[in-house]
Amino acid sequence: MERGSATGEGARAPLRKRLERQRTAGEKSPPGGFRAALAVCFLLVPPVLLLQRWQAGPAPAWLFAADLPPEANRDIKDGVFDDLSPSAQIEYDRLLGGLLIEGFDERSCRSRYQFARYHKSERIPSPYLIERLRRQEALQKKCGPGTKSYRSAAEQIRSGQSINSTKDCNYVFLIIHAGLGNRMLEITSAFLYALLTDRILLVDRYKEIGDIFCEPFPGTSWLIPSDFPLSYDEFTLGSPESYGSMLQNNVISGNMYRSLASAKPPYVYLHLDGNYGFHDKLFYCEDDQQFLKGVPWLIIRTDMYFVPSLFLIPSYHEELSKLFPEKDTVFHHLGRYLFHPTNDIWYSVIKYYRTYLAKADKIVGIQIRVYEKKGILQRNGPFPHILEQILSCSQNEKLLPEIAGTDKAATTAGNNRTVAVLATSLSSWYSDEIRKRYSKHRTVDGTTVKVYQPSHEEYQKSRNRKHNMKALAEIYLLSMSDELITSGFSTFGYAAQGLAGLTPWIMYRSVNHVVPDPVCGRAMSIEPCFHQAPFYDCKAKRDTDLGKVVPYVKHCEDVSWGLKIVNRTRL
């Protein structure tokens, strides 16, 4: 959709133009702080290395400020942040419609208040959501690490004794795993569940969360303290501590299961991973939610966006419709509330954006995720049918201009328009091929297409800090696009579309290496898909199609058995 279009999605372009004007002005006369920072930079970094890092070109090396010596690091970061920041005259809502509050230290987490400079949203959070977030912040502070309440709750786990009375401070503790996109979806799901059940959210401290995200809650930490009394990494499918096993083994059953007054265990492990079994899935039933209410600690392992199934639990209906009158904005609002990339990552994002993308009239993000086993990728990849799919989707849907067969075939001499393609992929081959095609031939309408790809990591390496930082930076860069093409099934793409508030064109997964027909389709909403959603009707006690129960939870476009939230009023 072009600038000024009915959806208003192109409304980012004027902001980008203003940023660009300012950047150009800044280049002519760099501010004093930035000049000083550059001087420090040149003194401290070997010039050859610097040249390599700052080389202009379609796929530049990444510069993470963390790579520089610590002394330079601080000055350069501050200087460049200032230089990259649009002037105060540019109006933007730094608190994202009230999702955020003032009072955090800006220097230690620039992205928190700068995000809105690069993202415009038409979705306004409800006053009730804002009120609940403030209440949640107070609860996080009252019950969080270091407080008397936390110590006493941790002590309950140590003692192993059953609980007879309800406490003020109850906890959801999320064991983090999987790739970056999955992590963002699982944290958001756990946070919504915490909001709905008046619990505080704590997350696994050992999975680089502190390296990639700033703390979201004021005056407290969301990282579980290192002296947490359980070896939770061992919890898995079938662990005796799991709710599913307790039900299956009749540890919780009969009267005790039904009775709210009965004693509760100090903690329950909820195995909500993709491989979960029938009894684990009963978590999504009303009766089971009632039972779990009095358990002080719920320890969740999931790799999924389980929000759509929360919308199907009757006791949460009213609260959810007050929190999200526009139903398909759950990830959009909660993701922008929770996730603030740390300075190293944010620096890379805005530097790349300003250098390569800001000048364009339109940015088209193309997220390319190829699901093949490593051996097949090594033997047979890259795959021409995926390249064909990308080009067909982007040209058929008029996101990119068609390429003229010969120079003569071009109908327009040239129109001064530039489209920047931001491609993200583990492989560089696809964007190299797209770039080659657009640089060798003219486009039918004379538009210039430039193709950029920030990194190509070849393989997923989820335990590598730098790798995760690049992945997160790319999710944020994709979220700065005007239009987005994503690969079906991929949570990496879901996270980008949700942060942006863009309904993407989803490229369907190919079978037997054949280009699918149709190649892609417009998503129904900006929400992620819950891949392994249960299909059990808790009341009728039989399997049913849960994509047909309420009009705002439907099957996903890319995963036919999955569930996603759509906004009824927008269909």
Sites of contact with ligand GDP (CB under 6 A): 178-182, 369, 424-426, 455, 457, 460, 462, 467, 470-471, 474, 490-492
Cβ closest to ligand GDP, residue 44 vs residue 426: 426
- Read off the DSSP letter of residue 530: B
State the Cα–Cα distance between residues 211 and 329, nearest whole angstrom: 27
Q: Give the helix ranges, DSSP H, for 270-363.
A: 278-281, 286-292, 307-310, 317-323, 330-338, 343-352
Q: How far is the CB of 304 from ligand GDP (least distance, A)?
A: 10
Contact partners, residue 281, CB within 8 Å, separation at least 6: 244, 534, 536
Residue recorded with tokens 């079978």? 511
Q: How far is the CB of 65 from ligand GDP (least distance, A)?
A: 18
Q: How far is the CB of 54 from ligand GDP (least distance, A)?
A: 20
Name the token pair of 59: 């796929």
- Taking residue 31's Cβ as centre, other Cβ atoms within 10 Å add up to 12
State the Cα–Cα distance between residues 488 and 516, nearest whole angstrom: 12
Name the token pair of 176: 């983090």
Q: How far is the CB of 135 from ligand GDP (least distance, A)?
A: 31
Cβ closest to ligand GDP, residue 136 vs residue 182: 182
Which of these, 456, 442, 309, 318, lies nearest to 377 by C-alpha position?
456
Contact partners, residue 113, CB within 8 Å, separation at least 6: 94, 95, 100, 104, 106
Name the token pair of 42: 């040149």
Q: How far is the CB of 424 from ligand GDP (least distance, A)?
A: 4
Q: How far is the CB of 562 from ligand GDP (least distance, A)?
A: 12
DSSP letter string, 165-177:
S--S--EEEEEP-
Beta partners for residue 521, in sequence order? 506
Cβ closest to ligand GDP, residue 214 vs residue 469: 469
Q: How far is the CB of 369 from ligand GDP (least distance, A)?
A: 5
Cβ closest to ligand GDP, residue 19 vs residue 203: 203
Contact partners, residue 88, CB within 8 Å, separation at least 6: none
Cβ closest to ligand GDP, residue 459 vs residue 535: 459
State the Cα–Cα distance between residues 48 and 304, nearest whole angstrom: 44
State the Cα–Cα distance between residues 298 and 266, nearest whole angstrom: 9
Q: How far is the CB of 6 from ligand GDP (least distance, A)?
A: 30
DSSP letter string, 267-286:
EEEEEESTT--HHHHGGGSH
> Minimal CB distance to ligand GDP: which residue?
179
In contact, 449 and 401? CB cutoff 8 Å: yes
H or E element at residue 57? none
Cβ closest to ligand GDP, residue 289 vs residue 431: 431
* Amino acid identity for residue 6 in this structure: A
Q: How far is the CB of 340 from ligand GDP (least distance, A)?
A: 18
Cβ closest to ligand GDP, residue 332 vs residue 369: 369
Cβ closest to ligand GDP, residue 397 vs residue 457: 457
Strands 483-487 and 171-175: unpaired
Q: How far is the CB of 178 from ligand GDP (least distance, A)?
A: 5
Which of these, 9, 3, 23, lies nearest to 353 by C-alpha position?
23
Cβ closest to ligand GDP, residue 123 vs residue 456: 456
